[in-house]
Amino acid sequence: MFEQVFKAFLLKCKLKASPFVLKYFKSSRARLFLKRIYKILQRNIHIYPVSIPPIQVESSLDFLLLELPPRYMPMMPNGVGYVNNILKKCGIRFQTIDLNVITYHLFHSQRILEKKPITTKCGYLMKEDPWDNTNTAEWDRPEVIEYFMEVMDDLITGIVNSQPKAVGISVQANSRKLANNLIKTLRVKAPDVVVVIGGYDCVYHYIGPHLVPDFDYMAIGDTELTLKPLVAGLAMGEKPKDLPGIISRYDSPQRKWVDPPLLEDLDLVDFPKYEWIDQTLYKNYKGDNLVPVTSSRGCRWSRCSFCSECFTFRKRTSLKVVDEIEYWTKKNFSLFHFNDSDVNGDPQYLYDICSDIIRRSLKVILVGQLRIDKHNNKEYFKHLAKAGFAHLRFGVDGWSQNLLHLQKKGYNMKLVLQNLHDCHWAGIFTTINIVLGVPGETEEDVDEIIENLVTCKDDVDVVEGINTMILGSGSEYYKYPEKYKIRFRGDKEEIYRKNPYFIHTDLWYSDEPYIDQEVRMNRLDRICKELYKHGVYIGDFAERVLANLKEEKIIDV
pLDDT tens per residue across span 42-62: 556 899 999 999 999 999 999
| Closest residue by Cα to residue 77 from 104, 112, 59 | 104
Q: Tell me, what's the pLDDT at 465?
A: 84
Instruction: Provide the CA 101 distance to its chain's centre, in angstroms.
Output: 16
Q: What is the pLDDT of residue 548?
A: 56
What is the pTM assigned to this prediction? 0.89
Instruction: Put the strands of the sheet holding 166-170 in their side by side order.
Output: 94-98, 63-67, 166-170, 194-198, 217-219, 246-248
Mean pLDDT of 245-263: 95
pLDDT, position 500: 86
- Torsion angle in degrees (nearest 10) through CA of 244, 247, 250, 252: 60
Domains of the chain, residue spans = 16-42, 63-248
- pLDDT band at residue 556 using 50, 70 and 90 as cut-offs: low
CATH class of 63-248: alpha beta
Can you tell me the distance from the alpha carbon of 484 to that of 489, in angstroms, rounded to the nearest whole number? 16
Judged against a pLDDT cut of 90, whether residue 519 lies above it is answered with yes
Distances (CA, A) of 182 to 68, 143, 155, 172: 10, 15, 10, 14
Contacts of 250 by beta carbon, 8 Å cutoff, 6+ apart: 216, 239, 240, 241
Residues 379, 451, 307, 81: is their CA dihedral positive or negative?
A: negative
The more confidently predicted of residues 294 and 39 is 294
Check whether the bond before 500 is cis (ω within 30° of 0).
no
Cα separation of 297 and 342, whole Å?
9
Q: Has residue 247 got a pLDDT over 90? A: yes
Question: What is the DSSP secondary-structure string of 90-152?
Answer: TTS-EEEEEHHHHHHHHHHHHHHHTTS--B-TT--B--S-TTSTT-GGGGG-HHHHHHHHHHT
β 365-370/335-338 pair status: parallel
d(CA 555, CA 96): 44
Alpha-carbon distance of 245 to 555, in angstroms, equals 44
Question: For residue 375, which of 384, 367, 387 has the smallest C-alpha distance?
Answer: 384
Q: Judge if the upstream peptide bond of residue 70 is cis by omega within 30 degrees of 0.
A: yes
Taking residues 162-187, what's their average pLDDT? 97
Quote the pLDDT of residue 536. Answer: 87
Q: What is the share, in percent, of the chain residues with pLDDT greater than 70? A: 89
Q: Report pLDDT for 133.
A: 84
User: Closest Cα to residue 308, out of 479, 140, 438?
Assistant: 479
Rg for the chain, CA atoms, rounded: 24
Query: How sure is the predictor about 215, in pLDDT bands with cuts at 50, 70 and 90?
Result: very high
Give residue 553's pLDDT band: very low, low, confident or very high (50, 70, 90): low
Closest-CA residue to 370 (of 323, 338, 404): 338
Say if residue 25's pLDDT is above 60.
Answer: no
